[in-house]
A and B are shown apart, each in its own frame.
Chain A
Amino acid sequence: MFDFESLWMWLADSKNWEGRYGLPNLLAEHLSLTFMSIGIAALIALPIGIAIGHSGKGGSVVVLLGSASRAIPTMGLLFVLVMLLGVQQRELAVTLALVAIAFPPILSGAYAGIRALEPHIPEAARAQGMTGSQLIRLVEVPLAMPAIVGGFRIAWIQVVSTVVLAPLIGLGGLGFGIIQGLALRNFDQVVASAMLIVILTVLGDQLIGVAQKTQTLKLENSSGGRNK
């Protein structure tokens, strides 16, 4: 069985918290790669997903992209892009790979959220004289919010997991301790890094889950209030 005492000693050792490969720096790198790529993916995927959901055209492409993306190994995608762009451009290559990984779930979330609305809802909004853009801004997007947040939840899991592999191509992030520890047979470092990654990903997932629930409750409360 693994010796947990030496794990705590590794975590308590101040030299693991300092410098280029110290835990705070690795965490910052991990988060900045994750947030930047999810942000870029959202800027592209949200407008497209909303437009496809609104118009109903091109929905099969979204579904196809969603299921095809599950079958593509993220590690292979990462390596292929780094090799195509060259190792000097690896930060760009990683960002591109991560954007490509975050894109399908955010797109599907926005598309599916708007598609799932009862058809009489947009019809009623149009009958009230709403224009297309008012319909999107005031009706479809607010009602699709839980699904949109759900898309971000999957994107977070996928991207944060792929960043764990970044040390394989010479970048940092919390996966560094796993890769280096496996090579050096320093299993304290491996397990400590894995634990921190688990805490980070599960915490992020739960936070997005809370946001998703808040959105759902907000919708339920507002419709309930009007009925009274």
Chain B
Amino acid sequence: MTWALNNAELILQLTLTHLFVSLIPLGLGFVLAVALARVTPAPFTPGITSALGAVYAIPSLALFVALPALIGTDFLGLTNVMIALTIYVISSMFFSARDAFTSLPPATIEFARAQGLSASQRFFFVEFPLAIPGLIAGARIAAASTISMASIAAVVGVRNLGYLFLDGFQRRIFDEVFAGLLAIFVIAIAVDLSLWLLGRALTPWSRRSRV
């Protein structure tokens, strides 16, 4: 506890980097997963689902260091890690995003079409809002694992909360390692709650219908 108070500034700075490194891939991965889920023709879905499932099985440290060889990014650094995390978000969210759109009531889509809404209008004003509960559920799972996985990026030199693990372990400061564990857990829960609140705020009708 004293260690955390004495190093509050360091923890804050590492937390900000940690949020940056995990939230940008989360947002980017969300958009890409939704786009991919929406444009993939039904016959290709099983193939893409199992390919992304295989990608999801790759340990993050292995992907962090394999990517530079494949796409020419720097071994140590932010870009590489953020691309890898984006790939994990896409592979974790694709299936739930697909599910969120295919489980929409067909009558509603037909009704929107009959009203003369164009394909893009249908997507932005009808399908996307109705898919939000499913998409948020998928995003919450992806967020928690991305935030905890991002700590491994410290091994390839990213100074986020994972740095407290490596530094604390090397210097035998238990409180430092524990502070890192706690800080990551807390921001994962905070982001989870924010996503839940965002989902509620974006779908006011779901609350009204329950009352």
In the complex, are the beta carbons of A165 and B61 less than 8 A apart? yes
B144 near A198 with CB under 8 A, answer no
Shortest beta-carbon distance, B55 to chain A, in Å?
8
Inter-chain contacts of A79 with B (CB < 8 A): 165, 168-169, 177
Interface residue ranges of A173-228 to B (CB < 8 Å): 175, 178-179, 182, 187, 190-191, 193-195, 197-198, 201-202, 204-206, 209
Residues on A with C-beta less than 8 A from B69 are 2, 4, 7, 187, 191, 194
Residue contact A74 to B148, C-beta cutoff 8 Å: yes
Question: Which residue, B141, B155, B178, has most C-beta atoms of chain A within 10 A?
Answer: B155
B33 CB to nearest A CB, Å: 17
What residue in chain B is nearest A191 (Cβ atoms)? Answer: B69
Q: Is the interface of A mostly helix, strand, loop or mixed?
A: helix
Q: A71-B147, A198-B58 are in contact. Are A168 and B166 (CB under 8 A)?
A: yes
- Inter-chain CA distance A209–B181, complex, in Å, is 32
User: How far, in Å, is A73 (CB) from chain B's closest CB?
Assistant: 4
Of B117-125, B184-192, B199-207, the segment with at least 4 beta carbons within 8 Å of chain A is: B184-192
A157 touching B57 by the CB < 8 A rule?
Answer: yes
Which chain A residue lies CB-closest to B69?
Answer: A2
Contact B72 A2 (CB under 8 A): yes
Kindly count the residue-residue contacts between A and B in the assembled complex, taking CB atoms under 8 Å apart: 130
- Docked-complex contact B65 and A76, CB < 8 angstroms: no
Residues of chain A lying within 8 A (CB to CB) of residue B162:
73, 75-76
Contact A191-B65, Cβ < 8 Å, known A70-B145, A83-B174, A198-B58 = yes
How many residues on chain B are close to A (CB under 8 Å)?
45
A195 to B59 CA separation, bound complex (whole angstroms): 11
Interface string of B130-160 (1 = CB under 8 A from A): 0000000000010011011101100110000
- Report if A198-B66 is in contact (Cβ < 8 Å); known contacts: A71-B184, A77-B181: yes
Assess whether A107 is interfacial by the CB under 8 Å rule: no
A1 touches B72 (CB 8 A): yes
Q: Mark A60-86, 1 if CB is under 8 A from B, else 0.
A: 000000010011111111011011100
Closest CB in chain A relative to B47 CB, distance in Å = 14
> Which residues from B are CB-within-8-Å of A204?
57
Distance in Å: Cβ of A149 to nearest Cβ of chain B: 14
Task: Verify if A169 is at the interface (C-beta below 8 Å from B).
Answer: yes
When A71-B147, A83-B177, A205-B53 are in contact, do A168 and B58 touch as well, CB less than 8 Å?
A: no
Partner of A76, one of B59, B72, B141, B180: B180
Report the Cα distance A42→B118, complex, angstroms: 52
The one of A4, A73, A157 that contacts B181, using a Cβ cutoff of 8 Å: A73
**Provided the pairs A75-B162, A76-B184, A83-B169 are in contact, do residues A201 and B177 lie with their beta carbons within 8 angstroms?**
no
Rounded to whole angstroms, the CA-CA distance of A101 and B165 in the bound complex is: 18
- Are A194 and B181 within 8 A (Cβ)? no
Query: Cβ of A168 and Cβ of B155 under 8 Å apart?
Result: yes
Alpha-carbon distance between A205 and B55 when the two chains are bound, in angstroms: 10
CB of B151 within 8 A of CB of A178, answer: no
**With the chains together, A204 CA to B57 CA distance in Å?**
9
What 16 new A-B contacts, CB under 8 Å, besides A198-B59, A209-B50? A70-B144, A70-B145, A71-B184, A71-B189, A73-B148, A73-B151, A73-B152, A73-B162, A73-B185, A157-B56, A157-B57, A165-B152, A168-B169, A178-B61, A182-B65, A194-B61
- 15 of the cross-chain contacts (CB-CB < 8 Å) are A67-B141, A71-B148, A75-B165, A76-B177, A76-B180, A76-B181, A83-B174, A157-B57, A168-B166, A178-B65, A179-B155, A191-B69, A194-B63, A197-B62, A198-B66
Interface, chain B (partner A; CB < 8 A) = 50, 53-54, 56-63, 65-66, 68-70, 72, 75-76, 141, 144-145, 147-149, 151-152, 155-156, 162, 165-166, 168-169, 172, 174, 177-178, 180-181, 184-185, 188-189, 192
